[in-house]
A and B are shown apart, each in its own frame.
Chain A
Amino acid sequence: MKRNKYSIVLLLLITISSYSQNNIFSVLNIPENLRKNANSIVQKDESLVTMDSQTSYTLKSQQIVTVLNKLGDDNALIALYYDKSRQIKNVVVYIYDAFGNEIKKIKRKDFKDVSAYDGFSLYNDGRYLYYKYIPLSYPYTIHSIIEIKSENTAGIPSWRAIDGYNQSVQLSKFTFRYPLDVKLNKKEYNFNGFDVKSNAINGEISYEVKNIPAIKKEPYAPSFRKIIPYVRLSVNKFNLEGVKGIANNWKEFGKWYYDNLIQGTQALPVATKEKIKNLTSGTNDTIEKAKIIYNYVQNKVRYISVQVGIGGYKPMLSSDVDRLGYGDCKALTNYTSALLNVVGIKAYPTLIYAGEEEKRSIDAQVASPQGNHMILNLPINNKNIWLECTSQKVPFGEIASFTDDRDALVLTPNGGEVKHTRVYTAEDNMQQTNGNMIIDDKGNLKAQLTIKSTGTQYDYHLGKYDGETPKELDVSLKKYFSNINNIHLSKAEVANKKKEAIYKEDIAFEASDYASFTDSQMLIKINAFNRRSTVPKRIRNRKLPFEITNGYKDVDSINVQLPKALKVNYIPEKVELKNKFGEYVMELKKIDETHYLYVRKLKILGGLFPKEMYDSYRKFIKQIRKYDNTKIILTK
């Protein structure tokens, strides 16, 4: 077995059959600049959407995608959603090798037909036809021809130039044809810097773009939606799961939504109304009443999602939620709204895009069924209160990290209104750590701490610890203090302080061998509990701007007691950093020979920054890490 086996592999990989430059499916036609950073290349993506009437549109599309390597396989996955109002009329797929020779033809019967399990619904009537090709070698090309017919003209397909990172596009073309008595609304995004050709005539609009090189994913990059060209379209006469509508703007759309999908769903049993009136009779304050009702809902219901037909848009009856004690976001929001209305508090269901990673707003100009979530808006005393109705845990009015800081559509009997949800500042997202640390002459650590958090940090701590069994909590807390080994917890109490909107942890532990030693000295990392350990990846030649989605602030104040038997040899000096990204302060204040107060303040500001600033952000975080690793030195 002396000979190099590499040659065998190579020989096996290169299985050349015929060769033809003219073949349109050959990878030889792909320009070199589109291969750079690309895992797959869209040679052609052509779609024609024809709206035949208010209650029908047809999507005809063909896609030719060349996959260059394993990481691009997902781009060759064909998954077609269908349900009662959306049918797959035709689907054929051809697979070609690198030279454009047909390897396979895949028909509808070769597809797998599965339930569209979305990961959280108990039931969902949608299904998927899907096909995943298992490649023998790379590159290969997949050519799909698809025809879909749908009744839901409320959500006509829109154009997006690229699907994701590491994919280049040779040609992407989209055409929408619509009847002349229909008015089209459109909003174009991120066309700047891309050569998008668009053409609009009566009853037809089209977009075309050629030769977009692949974009490489970079850490802290803003969402793809903020980078690539896409268009959102809607028509003013539409149909949604059998409910027809006419709307030229959000006001009209909101009105239609309210009249057809909200109104008439809020009736409640008399007994429930009485109960709500009794519960709130002790106060005249509107907010107090709302808090009582919110608390009532949190104790009564739980989140269960069932999506069937129009039920994907229309909340189930409030009387059913009352009877069953469960519902999805629409059902629970609408139910809370109905209960609030009982005592005369106006509360409006609100369509919104929920998500932590991206604060996605609904398109201000294009009225159509948007959003993936529903929350409740309470306009009280010229202020807006937002309620998340699917959680039994979050405090009244808290929406941090899920639906904060974005445009949403408030649905009222008078029509729709676009409002911006609550913005959390760095100070709103606070974590305060207070406590004591005692180091003995063996280097063992004894700690007692209280950690309080609010805003996004509340959310983080809640998600991490709440509802854990003592054993799970033991593991979670040890993970949180991962810089400290050999922890033995003597106290681990966590509390969701709903009233104050604070998450609180009371912790006490001992840890042996915390300090490290040389033969005559003891070194103690002074920041034991809240150390920054990771620095954003270094990116050589960054291409994309970067975004820090949420700002936050940490304030630590720890009383330090050092062993009497040793002499203090070195105490670090005060550090203060301040720049566009935030502030950092670290200080050890001497109280007496063996007592110090360690204070650390870190404030990170959220925001979108140009790519040129990335290196200075990295440097800032590196400095913080360095100072967080500061040691004090004692001599025996």
Chain B
Amino acid sequence: MQKIIFTLILFILSQLVISQNYKVGKISKSELTEKVYPLDSSANAAFLYSKRNTYFKYVQNEGFKVITEIQERIKIYNHEGYKWATKEISYYNPSMNAERVTISNAKTYSLKDGKIESYKLKKNDIFDVKENKYWSTKKFTMPNITDGCVVEWTYRITSPYTSIDAVQLQYEIPVKKISCKIEIPEYYVYSIKETGYLPINIQKLQKNKTIVIKDKTRSGGKVVKTYYSTNNINYISNTTVIENTNVPALLKEPYVNNIDNYKSAIHYELATTKWPNKPLKNYTKSWEDVAKTISKNSEFGGELKKTSYFKEDLDKLRAKFPNKNELMLAIFEFVKHKVKWNNTYGKYSYNGVRTAYKKGEGSVADINLILVAIFREAGIHANPIILSTRSHGIPIFPTLKGFNYVIAGVEVENNVLLFDATEENSIPNILPIRDLNWKGRIIRDNGSSTWVNLITQPAKLNTTVQVKINENGEVEGLERAQYMNYEAYYFRNTYGKVKDEDIISKMEEENSNIEISDFKIINKNNLYKPATIMYKFDSDELLDVVDDKIYFKPLLFMAETKNPFKLETRDYPIDFGMPNNNKKVVSITIPKGYAVESIPESFAIGLPNNLGVYKFSVTATGNKISVISLFKINTPIIPTAYYPQIKEFYKQMIAKNLEQIVLKKV
């Protein structure tokens, strides 16, 4: 019996879904009366329907065009959802071969005295903005938006390019129903991959299609006649159909490097073309193939072969640095200062290495390909390493698009030294943070390629503090902090160009209960040594003097007091950027006439699988107390499953840091 009821409910539910009309303009009353999204009452808006058809259309004399037709029907529940009534469609719009966008059927629907009313978007309320030389945006916002209304529009993008935009299956708001159809003629073969955690229902079909080509011929006799002939070409169209219902919203969380890595979508990349009577043309297939394709590109491999433009400069460097290792660093520093980065990414040279070298500015590829070329010419065995930056996400599958950046690598014995000359403070193996994503692929000059790790060194900070306490509750001390690897890189990015007096105020602001004097920095801008700061400090806020007792935290102003992990649960991995290593040593001299009444017990906690460890110890001997705190995270990215452990790890560390030392008058 129960089973019958269950099937009945299922039947009714499916009936409900079926009875919904998704034809353009057929908005139902129930869609307009709905007050909240049934499965997530926190949604401010939801896609009632999102439809996409992408197909190839043959245009005589022009060839195939890619047409994408979109229909979007969005329910707006409340004011916070009003932004979904504004749409921006970005399209490629260079002076030649521009994409075309046409918008139609845009209307707002709302219920007025029980009747459905609609308000049309007028043509002159659609704006076309030329953002720059290549890109334009169509923008519009729908009229008469009220809580509970529904907006709907359709648009079509006609593109002369074979690239197919990823099919997005998840948004910041939930989706009730999504249906996509991608039809691709047999001549084009795309690699297809899914991302995200959601199950996706994909169906594949084949259809027969025909291209009709009209030919016009003229007879050459006395009477000129024009003959028309038609030529039919039959081909198979490979169709992918994706249907999904009730897709939850994609939620943002802190400490996620790039949320797009976790968004449900289907990605396309052209792999081969198979034209009749022509040999198969392969574009990409494996990462090996991708590397090969990139290396053969004239704006990559070709640029590496040019050497004449830097010869003179290299000769000078060679004369000055006969030692090979010194020469390597000298070349690196030379390129950093010779060609400055113009904030353009890319794996291919932008304006050509020669131009970049001459102008003194260039893209990532310009700069780092120059570096590789000079290294090679100098006899240093260097190769380019392609990678995908953090903002570009983790590549889904082997495609050319998967990489958007190139750095230089020098293979020495079993190791690879990594170089990125676009950032002043970067040194070998300490790459800019944007580079630290996934892994890189080194492309050797013999055409072979292999993976390399991009993060090789932990961020390291060692702090030692010596303090004297007096009975009035004042503290005087000396701090020495040594910044290494990424800590040094961060330090120099923040303070490298800042005057000492401004650094002091900034540090006082951060540790706002101390005042700093006798401030000194060693190796502020000498990148190849750790940066070290030293200063004296005093404070009257670090101790609590109560009657004949003095209370204080063993680590004083360096105690960790706030847990960064506040969420109850978490959906995405925790990204620390790189391994971390933070050591603090505090030596405290207590005032005369006082004795240690109590100190916190020593403590150690580890994360599973050696992901991290925290050790804390306090020892008292005579009038001296010594405190050691050691924090280590060994993996840059920690899987979501460990979130409860990480949270607990921080919780216990902080509780320990907050425990007090008590001194008593004797």
30 A-B pairs within 8 Å (CB atoms) are namely A1-B325, A8-B321, A9-B526, A11-B320, A70-B497, A115-B131, A117-B129, A122-B127, A123-B129, A136-B338, A136-B360, A299-B146, A323-B143, A324-B144, A467-B80, A469-B44, A471-B42, A479-B566, A483-B561, A516-B553, A516-B655, A516-B659, A518-B661, A518-B662, A533-B512, A534-B509, A622-B541, A631-B546, A631-B551, A633-B546
Could you say which of B46-54, B328-336, B379-387, B607-615 contacts chain A?
B328-336
How does the 8 Å CB contact mask read for B514-534 relative to A, with 1 for contact and 0 for none? 010000000001111000000
User: What is the 8 Å Cβ interface bit string for chain B, positions 182-217, against chain A (1 contact, 0 not)?
Assistant: 000000000000000000000000000000000000
Are A570 and B337 also in contact (CB < 8 A) when A302-B82, A518-B659 are? no
Q: Tell me, yes or no, whether B660 is within 8 Å of chain A by CB.
A: yes
A115-B129 CB under 8 A given contacts A122-B86, A134-B340: yes
Closest Cβ of chain A to B61, distance in Å, is: 33
Across chains A and B, which 6 residue pairs bring their CB atoms closest together, nearest first?
A: A123-B127, A469-B42, A325-B144, A519-B598, A467-B80, A516-B658
Per the 8 Å Cβ criterion, residues 29-77 of A in contact with B are 69-71
Closest to B321 in A: A8
Q: Which of B338, B505, B547, B660 touches A570 (beta carbons < 8 Å)?
A: B547
Q: Which residues of chain A come closer than 8 Å to B180, judged between CB atoms?
A: none
Taking CB atoms and an 8 Å cut-off, the chain A residues in 293-314 that contact chain B are 299-300, 302, 304, 306
How close is A329's CB to chain B, nearest CB, in angstroms?
16
Q: Which residue of A is nearest B329, CB measured?
A: A5
Kindly state whether residue A422 has any CB partner on chain B within 8 Å.
Answer: no
Q: Mark B158-198, 1 if CB is under 8 A from A, else 0.
A: 00000000000000000000000000000000000000000
Q: Is the CB of B526 within 8 A of A488?
A: no
Is B361 touching A134 in the complex (CB atoms < 8 A)?
yes
Which residues of B (103-135) have their CB < 8 Å from a CB of A?
Answer: 119, 125, 127, 129-133
The interface on chain A, measured as residues whose beta carbon lies within 8 A of the other chain's beta carbons, has a size of 72
Chain A residues positioned under 8 Å from B131 (CB to CB): 114-115, 117
Residues of B within 8 A of A113 (CB): 132-133
Shortest Cβ distance from A516 into B: residue: B658
Instruction: Encode B67-87 as 1/0 by CB contact (under 8 A) with A.
Output: 000000000001110100010
CB contacts under 8 Å to A, within B323-357, are: 325-326, 329-330, 333-334, 337-338, 340-342
**B563 adjacent to chain A (CB < 8 Å):** yes
B568 at the interface (CB under 8 A from A): yes
Interface: B562 (CB within 8 A): yes
- Please provide the chain B residues from 542 to 566 with a CB less than 8 Å away from any CB of chain A in the complex: 544, 546-547, 551, 553, 561-563, 566
The residue of chain A having its C-beta at the shortest distance from the C-beta of B140 within the complex is A122
Nearest residue (CB) in B for A443 is: B655
What CA separation (Å) do A480 and B138 show in the bound complex? 40
Residues of A near B546 (CB, < 8 A) are 570, 631, 633
Interchain CA distance A594-B326 in the complex, whole Å: 72
Contacts of A304 in B (CB 8 A): 86, 141
Q: Is A82 an interface residue (CB 8 A)?
A: no
The segment out of A17-25, A536-544, A560-568 that lies at the interface is A536-544
Q: Which of A135, A392, A538, A570 has its CB near the most chain B CB atoms (within 10 A)?
A: A538
Q: Are B563's CB and A136's CB within 8 A?
A: no
Q: Does A517 contact B (CB under 8 A)?
A: yes
Asked if A12 is at the interface of the complex by the 8 Å CB criterion, the answer is: yes
Which residue of B is nearest A137, CB measured? B337
> Is B82's CB under 8 angstroms from A482's CB?
no
- Given A325, A467, A483, which contacts B143 in the complex, CB threshold below 8 Å? A325
The residues of A that contact B79 with a CB separation of less than 8 Å are: 302, 392-393, 467
For the complex, give the distance between the alpha carbons of A301 and B340 in Å: 49
Chain A residues whose C-beta falls within 8 Å of the C-beta of B553 in the assembled complex? 516
* Contact (Cβ within 8 A) A69 B497: yes
Bound Cα distance A622, B143 (Å): 53
Q: How long is the Cα–Cα vector from A130 to B658 in the complex, in angstroms?
A: 53
The answer, yes or no, to whether A470 is at the interface (CB within 8 Å) is yes
Contacts of B562 in A (CB 8 A): 482-483, 485
Q: Specify which chain A residues have a CB less than 8 angstroms from the CB of B329 in the assembled complex.
A: 1, 5, 8
Q: Beyond the given A518-B551, A625-B541, could you list 6 further A-B residue pairs with CB under 8 A, ordered by the A residue number? A: A122-B140, A134-B342, A467-B44, A485-B651, A488-B568, A518-B659
> What chain B residues lie within 8 Å of A483 (beta carbons)?
561-562
- The answer to whether A485 and B146 have CB atoms under 8 Å apart is no
Complex Cα spacing A547 to B330, Å:
50
User: Could you give, for residues 637-663 of chain B, a 1 whenever the CB lies within 8 Å of some chain A CB and a 0 otherwise?
Assistant: 000000000000001001100111110
* B residues apposed to A, CB below 8 Å: 42, 44, 78-80, 82, 86, 119, 125, 127, 129-133, 139-141, 143-146, 251, 254, 320-321, 325-326, 329-330, 333-334, 337-338, 340-342, 360-361, 497, 501, 505-506, 508-509, 512-513, 515, 525-528, 541, 544, 546-547, 551, 553, 561-563, 566-568, 597-598, 600, 651, 654-655, 658-662
A539 touches B505 (CB 8 A): yes
Interchain CA distance A538-B504 in the complex, whole Å:
9
Chain B residues within 8 Å of A12, by CB? 333-334, 337
Instruction: Report if A94 contacts B (CB, 8 A).
Output: no
Q: Give the chain B neighbours of A513 by CB distance below 8 A.
A: 651, 655, 658
CB nearest neighbor in A for B330: A8
Cβ-defined contact, B132 with A523, below 8 A: no
| A interface residues (Cβ-Cβ under 8 A, vs B) | 1, 3-6, 8-9, 11-13, 69-71, 112-115, 117, 122-123, 134-137, 299-300, 302, 304, 306, 323-326, 392-393, 467, 469-471, 474-475, 478-479, 482-483, 485-488, 512-513, 516-521, 523, 533-535, 537-540, 570, 622, 625-626, 629, 631, 633
In contact, B132 and A114 (Cβ under 8 angstroms): yes
Complex: A392 Cα to B146 Cα, angstroms: 12
Chain B minimum-CB-distance residue to A13: B337
Most chain A C-beta atoms within 10 Å of own C-beta, residue among B146, B329, B546, B654:
B546
**Which residue from A136, A467, A512, A518 sits with its C-beta under 8 Å from B337?**
A136
Residues of B within 8 A of A622 (CB): 541
Q: How far apart are the CA atoms of A539 and B508 in the complex, in Å?
A: 10
CB B474 to nearest CB in A, in angstroms, measures 13
Given contacts A326-B145, A534-B509, contact A5 B527 (CB under 8 A): yes
State A166–B481 Cα separation when bound (angstroms): 30
B residues within 8 A CB of A324?
125, 143-144
Question: In the complex the two chains form, is A486's CB within 8 Å of B563's CB?
Answer: yes
Residue A302 contacts which of B145, B337, B655 (CB distance < 8 angstroms)? B145
Of B130, B254, B325, B563, the residue contacting A485 (CB under 8 A) is: B563
Query: How many angstroms from the CA of A540 to the CA of B508 in the assembled complex?
Result: 12
User: For the complex, what is the distance from the CA of A1 to the CA of B525, rounded to whole Å?
Assistant: 18
Q: Tell me the complex Cα distance, A399–B629, Å.
A: 50
Chain A residues within an 8 Å CB radius of B321: 8
Of the residues B133, B141, B509, B526, contact of A537 by C-beta under 8 Å = B509
Complex CA–CA separation, A117 to B360 (angstroms): 30
- Distance A10 CA – B251 CA, assembled complex (angstroms): 49
Residues of chain A with a CB closer than 8 A to B334's CB: 12
CA distance A284 to B146 in the complex (A): 29
Neighbouring B residues of A516 by C-beta, 8 Å: 553, 655, 658-660
Complexed CA–CA distance, A493 and B506 (Å): 37
Give the complex CA separation of A373 and B508 in angstroms: 38
- The answer to whether B512 and A534 touch across the interface, beta carbons within 8 angstroms, is yes
Cβ of B597: which chain A residues have Cβ within 8 Å of it? 518
Q: Bound complex: CA of A633 vs CA of B568, how far in Å? A: 31
Task: Report the minimum CB–CB distance from A94 to chain B (whole Å).
Answer: 15
Cβ contact within 8 Å between B333 and A9: yes
Residues of B within 8 A of A70 (CB): 497
What residues of chain B lie closer than 8 Å to A633, measured between beta carbons? 546, 551
B320 contacts across to A, CB distance below 8 A: 11
Residues of the A chain whose Cβ atoms lie less than 8 Å from the Cβ of B513: 535, 625
Chain A: minimal CB distance from B339 (Å): 8
Across the two chains, which residue of chain A brings its CB closest to B652? A513
Instruction: Kindly report which residue of chain A lies nearest to residue B88, judged by CB atoms.
Output: A122
CB-nearest residue of chain A to B502 = A216
Taking A122-B139, A135-B340 as contacts, is the C-beta distance between A523 and B660 under 8 angstroms? yes
What's the least CB distance linking A249 to chain B, in Å? 38
- A1 shortest CB reach to chain B, Å: 5
